[in-house]
Structure 1
Amino acid sequence: MNGSGIDYEVVFRALPGPVALLTTDLVYADVNDSFLSMTGRTRDQVVGRYIFDVFPDNPGDPDASGMRNLLASLRRVAETGERDTMALQRYDVVDPSTPGVWEERYWSPVNTPVFDEDGKVALILHRVEEVTELMRARGRGGAADGDRARVLEAELYTRARELQELNEQLRRAHAREHEVALSLQAAMLPAPGPIGERSAAVRYRPAVGALNVCGDWYDLAELPGERLAVAVGDVVGHGLAAAGVMGQLRSALSAASRVATGPARALDVLGLYARSVEGAESTTVFLAVVDWSDRTLTYSSAGHPPAALLHPDGTVEFLDGATDPPLGARPEHVARPQAAAAFTAGASLVLYTDGLVERRHEDIDRGLRRLAGSLARHHGAGPEPLADAILADLMPSGGATDDTALIVIGL
């Protein structure tokens, strides 16, 4: 029972459609009565067991693909947090009362993620409808008039199979693009070199999906007079096109930050340049200049999540005093704002992209609170261990659905 007064466990068991809850390890956490009735299993035969121990593929059918297709769908849901509606599947089932006898069965599955309070996939809701009778009606060429609607529905199976094959071809093409894009990105985002006596840690985690890669970048540039320019950015879009735009903007900002009078002016220059680059609109960027001679940070943001300044006592200050719209968001050019913050020896500056803090179905402020909590717990750590701790605390176990770049500078 919860605050609404509704007992959702009772509701789950009474659902007229067959539904199961799976852990991300694909073990049955619970099933409703309709699921047990449809599959001919008891609760003890299902709950607590691995899905494919309960329902393996028919060993007598060399073309059986139901288990492989379902496994791929469930893994996609666990890794991406996206619902997956599968094409109709032939998945034969053995009758527990007659071992060794397999029945030809057809199913229409939908797999949906269930998130925990941190936005991570905790369970997978597996809903499945049996359409075996429709397929049998389709096989009877001379069906009676009363069966014609069913036969028409069953014809969708053939179209669905064709669509599934096309989707698989697209998936393979996207996977090839993914590999090329990652190689291009690795060439354009080399590991930072030494920055004098200062220490820095950089982490980059590509998205788990083949389509969701290559929009993020980072850059560090030594400046005269004990200064360092550090930037992160995020291009809207994915794949090779985003990787190309990212490379152009990163190079332009790296040059601008070396000659501009401050972060705001460098972003002004980048914004003007972005207007001539197709696909650069709405890119977000955060640029900070660290000056160790007077222990100040000057910064400016073009619509990017705020950098975090971790003070030696564990307090966290988000640098949100100079936030402006993303590149190209205004119809006319307007000078960007700039702000400053003081730091003391032993502090850390943390820049990142939104893959670290944003999660579906929640406000970004919640992700920022998670980041602040992680920084406070690990204050005093050097850049390398602090970067590893942040990723361990904030990244989803199956990987994020968006790229994540992270820079930690020891101050």
Structure 2
Amino acid sequence: MVRSSRIDYEAVFQALPSAVALFTTDLVYADVNETFLRSMGRTREQVVGRYLWDAFPDDPQNPAVSGMRKLRDSLRWVAATGQRDAMTLHRYDVQRPDRPGVWEERYWSPVNVPVFGPDGQVALLLHREEDITELIRTRGSRAAGDEATALEGKLYIRARELQEINERLREAHARQREVALSLQRAMLPAFEPLRHYQAAARYLPAVNALNVCGDWYDLVELPGDRIAAAVGDVVGQGLAAAGVMGQLRSALSAVSRVTDSPARALEVLGLYARSVDGAESTTVVATVIDCAQRTITYSSAGHPPPALLHPDGSVDYLDRATDPPLGARPEHVSRPQAETTFTEGATLVLYTDGLVERRHEDIDTGLARLADSLTRHRDTDPEALADALLADLIPPAGASDDTALVILRL
């Protein structure tokens, strides 16, 4: 029987036969293994703690060689998206440490991988590279008709072509993100101050180039000193999600003006969603606040529960009227509705899951984090509270999902 023992991962890291480096998300070398140092001809002091471009700049005399810049762009993309990037073969010259200004032609095959922290966000970037210079150059001095050299040359050209395709795809994703965000902003309502109450609204896009534009908010003043507030989240990404979002937001905004019942409003929205391609599984929470009676009536279609912050700092989650998302049932079923009371000075907070959900973390952890932030900032006005919540709950590197937020001081 083999007795288990604690693995020394530091020793494993240093013993890896491939050159491996760990970067912070700011692209500072956090650690490198011995193979990396031998391959680069550097000491640990010359690398660790330095930015990528300071430790290994591109040759200023040869602008055609841009290996560092391509590696920098790949690492930034991995940090922003949380996705692995296997870079194609590329030339990345290294300055000889013993002869400043003299650059050695080198060829590499790198892979960059995100390392996630406890909060589900990218904490480090693992960079592994294989030095294939000898493979490229071994037969370079042989006759031009050498078949192996010709094949290696074709492989190198093909690798460069693939790398250019990957770069164009990234550029296309970035353009799609900008177009989708512009459409999203155009479809969200222009926020106007309420007559008698303080309110704030925010939309924060995700850092992922594609995972944006499914969230929305709506805030409508109704007759009789009442307010309808809602947030929703379309399952989808990019332009398609922005289009569906615009249709559902407009439909719910219209229905909210002619019914006193959030549950009835969601029933009508659910029926409408069946005719909208891509609207299935959308989550929404709708509320009607009666300021004269000091009541909140609410209904949720699979959405995270609104938070009610009381003046004493305690927080209740409005979770007694939760039903499946839109289109989850094949037949029409009446949706539940609940009502709660509030005291003057209470604050209602509606939000989408980007504010509280994190990868590899239970949703209750995120809700507890939200409640703690609300309690600590209970004396601030809605505008300041909105900024404080985003600062407290959105990771410094940005969220992996977009976030909509509505805050009302009652």
TM-score, reference length from structure 2? 0.93
CA distance in 1, matches of 2:364, 2:91: 45
Query: Contact (CA 8 Å) 2:119, 2:360: kept in 1 or not?
Result: no
Q: Partner residue of 1:83?
A: 84
Query: Contact (CA 8 Å) 2:84, 2:113: kept in 1 or not?
Result: yes
Per-residue Cα deviation, 1:119-170 (whole angstroms, up to 9, x for no partner): 332221111111212222575777999x96x986775443332222223323
1:90-129 counterparts in 2 under 5 A? 90-129=91-130
Query: Contact (CA 8 Å) 1:215, 1:242: kept in 2 or not?
Result: yes
Closer, same or farther: CA 342–54 of 1 in aligned 2, 3 Å? same
Closer, same or farther: CA 12–204 of 1 in aligned 2, 3 Å? same
Matched to 1:28, the amino acid is Y
Deviation at 1:277, TM superposition (A): 0.8
CA distance in 2, matches of 1:108, 1:153: 14
* Larger mean Cα displacement after TM superposition, 314-323 or 174-183: 174-183
Q: Partner residue of 1:257?
A: 256
CA distance in 1, matches of 2:303, 2:139: 55
Q: Partner residue of 1:40?
A: 41
Query: Contact (CA 8 Å) 1:218, 1:231: kept in 2 or not?
Result: yes
Q: Partner residue of 1:400?
A: 399
Matched to 2:329, the amino acid is R
Per-residue Cα deviation, 1:335-394 (whole angstroms, up to 9, x for no partner): 111122221112111111111122223233222222122112112221111111000011
Query: Contact (CA 8 Å) 2:189, 2:218: kept in 1 or not?
Result: no
Which segments of 5 or more consecutive residues in structure 2 lack a partner in the other structure?
none
Matched to 1:181, the amino acid is A
Aligned length, in residue pairs:
407
Q: Partner residue of 1:303?
A: 302
CA distance in 2, matches of 1:141, 1:353: 63
CA distance in 1, matches of 2:145, 2:169: 39
* Larger mean Cα displacement after TM superposition, 385-394 or 167-176: 167-176
CA distance in 1, matches of 2:141, 2:378: 71
1:235 maps onto 2:211 in alignment: no
1:285-364 counterparts in 2 under 5 A? 285-364=284-363
CA distance in 2, matches of 1:308, 1:67: 47
Matched to 2:100, the amino acid is P
Closer, same or farther: CA 139–289 of 1 in aligned 2, 3 Å? farther
Query: Contact (CA 8 Å) 1:22, 1:124: kept in 2 or not?
Result: yes
Closer, same or farther: CA 153–344 of 1 in aligned 2, 3 Å? farther
| Structure 2 residue matching 1:259: 3-state secondary structure | coil
* Larger mean Cα displacement after TM superposition, 62-71 or 157-166: 157-166
Query: Contact (CA 8 Å) 2:22, 2:29: kept in 1 or not?
Result: yes
Matched to 2:26, the amino acid is D
Which segments of 5 or more consecutive residues in structure 1 lack a partner in the other structure?
none
* Larger mean Cα displacement after TM superposition, 127-136 or 271-280: 127-136
CA distance in 2, matches of 1:29, 1:45: 12
Q: Partner residue of 2:170?
A: 171
Per-residue Cα deviation, 1:70-122 (whole angstroms, up to 9, x for no partner): 11111112222222221222100122122222111111222222233233322
Query: Contact (CA 8 Å) 2:29, 2:52: kept in 1 or not?
Result: yes
Deviation at 1:50, TM superposition (A): 1.5
Per-residue Cα deviation, 1:222-242 (whole angstroms, up to 9, x for no partner): 122221110011112122221
Query: Contact (CA 8 Å) 1:134, 1:154: kept in 2 or not?
Result: no
TM-score, reference length from structure 1? 0.92
Per-residue Cα deviation, 1:150-197 (whole angstroms, up to 9, x for no partner): 986775443332222223323333333333222222221133213221
Closer, same or farther: CA 194–60 of 1 in aligned 2, 3 Å? closer
Closer, same or farther: CA 153–234 of 1 in aligned 2, 3 Å? farther
CA distance in 2, matches of 1:271, 1:141: 71
CA distance in 2, matches of 1:15, 1:229: 59
